[in-house]
Amino acid sequence: MTWHVMTPAGARRHLWLTITGPGKPEYGRWKTPLGRDVTNTLARKGPPGVTVEWWFQQNPANPGKTLVDVVWQDGEGLKVYSERLCSLLADQGAELSTFPIDVRYNDGSPIAGYLGVLEETKKPGPVHSMKRGQRTGSVAVSEQVRQSMLDARITGAEFEPFTSAFPGDNGYFD
């Protein structure tokens, strides 16, 4: 079976995001008052594990504003997908954990229509982590899911074919 690693295209014209909020240091890792790494906790558990106020803001290093379905962001294993893409993936049988997120342009104005997404990490479903037991910035998708995304004209995604369901286990890292 052919699998594909799906990554955000990250074109300069596209919106890129970064996690921010009150108390985030300019340099170094952002920790909660209890010492938990904010970014890593969001990537592993989602919002329930984070006790600080946070949101996604337009990445100041990239001026792009074009909204796409698969958004590049520097939140490690936490994905930001459009509600449209999440619906399509669910229709394809993907086991995703989604939650509402606050997305803003640099001027503070809101951007609607996006969800935070955590994918399956243990078994090879139609959409799952590319590395068994660990989330990275990319996911593995089945050929059927890739084709459905192409048919639906999902934007902002790039695909690389693999024969392994978990290409990250074989030395491929994103």
- Position 85 scores a pLDDT of 98
Q: Is the pLDDT of residue 170 over 80?
A: no
pLDDT band at 136 (very low <50, low <70, confident <90, very high): confident
Q: The whole model's pTM is what? A: 0.93
Q: Which long-range contacts (CB under 8 A, 24 or more apart) does 124-128 make?
A: 124/3, 124/165, 124/166, 125/93, 125/94, 125/95, 126/89, 126/92, 126/93, 126/94, 127/89, 127/92, 127/94, 127/95, 127/96, 128/95, 128/165, 128/166
Q: Is the pLDDT of residue 76 over 70?
A: yes
Q: Is the pLDDT of residue 152 over 60?
A: yes
Rounded mean pLDDT of 123-146? 94
Lowest mean pLDDT among 74-78, 85-89, 112-116, 154-158: 74-78
- Position 49 scores a pLDDT of 81
Residue 58: both structure tokens together: 């337009």
What percentage of residues in the chain have a pLDDT greater than 70? 97
Domain limits, the chain: 3-170
DSSP helix/strand/coil, 83: helix
